[in-house]
């Protein structure tokens, strides 16, 4: 399996008031019940498989300069390849995500202006997988409402090459 094409549909990480959290700079927590983090894998034979990270966690922080920063943690131990239990085991196994040794994929965005959620555009940051950290880029779709993340999903897409990690 070669590439990971990620689609993030996030809810509960929008622009609204701060939610109950232990750290004062956290303005929003990822709502795992209302969010989807999906990916697709392409096998050596060209078959495209869809999958999800059902136990995603994350938050959005307000930085002192007014910009925001998103953190995501994705469990490789619970990822699923849709309708393919055998491929799920393979994806979690040592030849792909290696969930036993590397139970988490994480992403920390670069600071971004709040307007990015409305206008769409590039969201850059650092992705950590298999003990390696690399810069990656996701493209945010323009918001479909005035309150992205609460009134409508935040949609981001990007391509991550497994071979880079």
- Summarize pLDDT for 99-135 with one digit per residue, the tens: 999 999 999 999 999 999 999 999 999 999 999 999 9
Of 85, 59, 98, 58, the C-alpha closest to 74 is: 58
Q: Tokens 């993030």 label which residue?
A: 8
- Quote the mean pLDDT of the chain: 86
Provide φ and ψ at 91, rounded to 5°.
-65, -35
Q: Number of C-alpha atoms within 13 angstroms, CB side, residue 98?
A: 9
Q: Specify the DSSP class assigned to residue 149.
A: T
- What's the count of helices (H) and strands (E) in the chain, helices before strands? 2, 11
Q: Specify the DSSP class assigned to residue 115.
A: H
pLDDT at 86: 95
Cα end-to-end span (Å), the chain: 13
pLDDT at 153: 86
Provide φ and ψ at 6, rounded to 5°.
-100, 140
* Ordered alpha helix ranges (H), 19-146: 85-92, 115-119
Instruction: State how far the alpha carbon of 68 is from the alpha carbons of 14, 62, 64, 84, 91, in Å.
Output: 10, 5, 9, 37, 32
Overall fold of domain 3-164: Lipocalin (2.40.128)
Burial of 94 (0-12, 13-18, 19+ CB in 10 A): exposed
Q: Residue 151 in contact with residue 118, Cβ under 8 Å?
A: no
Q: What is the mean pLDDT of residues 23-44?
A: 83
Domain residue spans of the chain: 3-164
For residue 5, name the pLDDT band (cuts at 50, 70, 90): low
């Amino acid at each position: 399996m070669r590439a990971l094409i990620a689609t993030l549909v996030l809810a509960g990480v929008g622009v609204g008031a701060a939610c109950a959290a232990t750290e004062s700079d956290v303005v929003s927590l990822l709502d795992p019940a209302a969010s989807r983090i999906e990916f697709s894998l392409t096998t050596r034979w060209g078959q495209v498989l869809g999958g999800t990270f059902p136990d995603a966690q994350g938050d959005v922080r307000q930085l002192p300069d007014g910009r925001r920063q998103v953190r995501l943690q994705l469990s490789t131990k619970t990822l699923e390849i849709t309708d393919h239990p055998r491929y799920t085991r393979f994806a979690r196994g040592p030849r792909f995500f290696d969930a036993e040794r590397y139970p988490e994929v994480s992403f920390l965005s670069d600071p971004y202006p709040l307007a990015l959620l409305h206008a769409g555009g590039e969201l850059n940051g650092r992705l950590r997988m298999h003990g390696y950290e690399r810069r990656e880029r996701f493209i945010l779709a323009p918001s479909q409402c005035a309150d992205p993340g609460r009134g409508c999903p935040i949609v981001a897409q990007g391509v991550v090459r497994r071979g880079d990690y």
